[in-house]
Amino acid sequence: IIISLLIVIPFRMFVAQPFIVSGASMEPTFFTGDYLIIDELSYRIRGPKRGEVIILRVQNNPVFYIKRVIGLPNEKIEIKGNKVYVFDKENKNSYQIKENYLSEYETYPDDYFELKNNEYLVLGDNRPKSFDSRQFGPIQKKNITGKVFLRLWPLTSIGFAGQAN
């Protein structure tokens, strides 16, 4: 039992942990009751990538949230006309982010974000029902717990949860 605890406890604290989805903010990607495994190790090696689904906390709030990474550090992001745009490094041109994971949800209100070093813009996939960076602002890397790695429940949806298409 002691040997098992010496293996299981550090693994759960530093490598992976379970997460149960609560709320409609990530529909149709994840639904209330989905049982996920969170990879806590990857972001110790590298930063989040656009399109990855992450688990985070907002400042000192003890509640965990599940959201998708939309904006990366030092980027400028504009929400305009229900679409999300990223400005290139020279800030002269922008391109629309392809969000194939969205169905017909609208992204509003129009807004503009200038992300600093170690800041990320996160949005839910169900934009009208998501409490995300449009309300609480960009999040810092230190507030990210990890990325969604695996869905274990429901059984009909078991599989790895990779980056968005």
Q: Which residues are part of the catalytic machinery?
A: 25, 67
**Residue 84: φ, ψ to 5°:** -115, 130
Between CA 124 and CA 133, with CA 129 as vertex, the angle to 5 degrees is 45
Positive or negative torsion for Cα 26, 46, 86, 95: negative
d(CA 102, CA 17): 27
3-state secondary structure of 158: coil
48 close to 39: Cβ distance less than 8 angstroms:
no
d(CA 17, CA 64): 13
